[in-house]
Amino acid sequence: MRKPVQNILDAIGDTPIVRLNKMAQGLKTEIYVKLEFANPGGSIKDRIAPFIIEEAVKSGRLKPGGTIVEATSGNTGMGLAMAAAVYGYKCVCVMSSKQSVDKQNMLKAMGVEVVVCPADVGPEDPRSYYSVAKKIASERPNAILGNQYDNPANGEAHYRTTGPEIWEQMSGDIDYYVAGVGTGGTVSGTSRFLKEKNPQLKTIGIDPVGSILTDYHRTGKITEAKSYLIEGVGEDIIPANVKFELIDEFVQVNDQEAITALHRLAKEEGIFAGSSCGMAVAGALKYAQKLNGGKMLVILPDGGGKYLGKFFNKEWLESKGIQV
């Protein structure tokens, strides 16, 4: 039982791990999922926000009353909004128009200034959410860019919190660690800790079809990204926080596979999760088909409440050619 804490940031972490039963029937590998939507801001990104802010303060980049600017699909924005409220900073979140309106409204409810940019432009385009975030951070007085893609504080947060939690909760009995790959902080930081504890552990990165990360891992070449529906995972850039040497294999999952798994999680396991969770579980099930035992832990980054108008909306799915 948790005791009272001093502020909302102290409530981050210690999220539950649950075994998959119906979805894993017939597999020789036990599959467990870590429910990161149990964090107070609703996602795994709650973990990195205090680390990003603390690093900026210690380095002298962020002064009292300053502004934190971030390019985000929404979840990091929520974590930063919580931390900004506690520490007394302003927050600006720059998002792609691909992200759900629910995410935008949640951030606005937290007092965040939300800037929406077109989704169908390249990362170097001055209209992209990466470019706009950098511009705002450079032009506003006493503002910094959180830069979750390249800021080492992202991976460090998971090395110091997510990895140790998993190791303790699983009593060190874990053979495969599975996570979606986006900024790289979750998969790489956690993998670094777990591999230090168990050098035989395999880390499996799950990537949406259309992202450039899988091809880069396999060939070392940067290809052109293509559009996909799943939010908050995959990339059209190579973030510094993706440490490819800590990821043993990549598994690609398409939108249909991810959304099918998402609905199965809800209907068969009672787990109401977000779109990237469906992708992670679909990839984990694919990979587990070839295994002959062991225990696998899959990160479920966020919950389903932010996606009611999209991934749980039959009409929207049908308009995108997705069957559930």
Active site residues: 45
CA angle at residue 37 from 174 to 300, to 5 degrees?
A: 40
In the numeric block, which tokens belong to residue 237? 């850039």
What SS3 class is residue 93? Answer: strand
User: 275-288 vs 255-269: helix axis angle to the nearest 10?
Assistant: 90
- Closest listed residue to residue 324, CA positions, set 232, 229, 205: 229
CA distances (Å), 182 to each of 24, 139, 145, in order? Answer: 25, 27, 18
CB atoms within 10 A of CB 216: 18
Cβ partners under 8 Å of residue 313, min gap 6: none
CB atoms within 10 A of CB 219: 9
State phi, psi for 268 to the nearest 5 degrees.
-105, -30
Sheet with 176-180: list strands edge to edge: 17-19, 30-35, 295-300, 176-180, 202-208, 249-253
Q: Check if the beta carbon of residue 189 is closer than 8 Å to that of residue 158.
A: yes
State phi, psi for 248 to the nearest 5 degrees.
-75, -40
CA angle at residue 58 from 106 to 235, to 5 degrees?
A: 45
End-to-end Cα spacing for the chain: 38
- Closest listed residue to residue 42, CA positions, set 280, 315, 272, 260: 272
Length of the chain: 324
